[in-house]
Amino acid sequence: MSVNIQFLGQSCFLLGDGQHQLLTDPFIQGNPRCPVTLEEALGWNIDAVLVSHAHGDHWGNALDFGKKGVPIIGTAEIGGYAEKNGAKNAVGMNIGGTYKTGWGSVYLTPAWHSSSFPDGTYGGMPTGLVIEFGGLRLYFAGDTNLFSDMKLIGDRGLDVAFLPIGDHYTMGPDEAARALELLRPRVAIPMHYATFPPLTGDPEVFRIGGSLRGVDVRVIAPGEKTEV
């Protein structure tokens, strides 16, 4: 099977397997690199919104989808906040837990970062997500630095790794390329760069670093798609 991946800027991706669609870290409104409007995105048939942590550029428009009944999947704190604010089908989990559903599953991993909602409410631990979808295993790292337990995530056998490369708030492209040694995915896609001035990480540096490590790094511009 395969997964179609469309980059929507920052850490927002639309994932489709031909029957189902998932949205990661849905920062749409206010995202200067997002090629679609919130109104357009709310018209899509989304099966779940996956949220790595509560910062505004990741939590984004999750609640807009949640109020329509789209499940929001994240930490217990994210699920509880979503429910309290009108989401209808929030799924609160924690690190090490797996949520299984008709289109696949989500397993939460650690991430080294911080997490709070735009209003200051604590968002729980930041996370990465291992997503079983479309017959593939995808690792969405969220915001993080390089950490040695990425090897354990890689031991699961990854088809795709989505890694932040922007630097300043997360690892930069050199550290992200080193992470590929631990994760060992077939394909890697950079994210969380160029959206705001501090995010200076160069995707070409990441691409070259991945190539030296035998990984197919695909740099896709906002709005573009790739299939794995």
* Residue 1 pLDDT exceeds 90: no
Domain containing 177 — which CATH number?
Answer: 3.60.15.10
Instruction: Please tell me the predicted confidence (pLDDT) of residue 183.
Output: 98
Dist CA 9 CA 146 (whole Å): 22
Structural domain harbouring 24: 4-227
How much is the pLDDT for 190? 98
Percent of the chain with pLDDT over 90: 100
Closest CA to 34 of 69, 66, 3, 61: 61
Domain count for the chain, please give it: 1
Q: Yes or no: say if 77 and 84 are a contact pair by the CB < 8 Å rule.
A: no
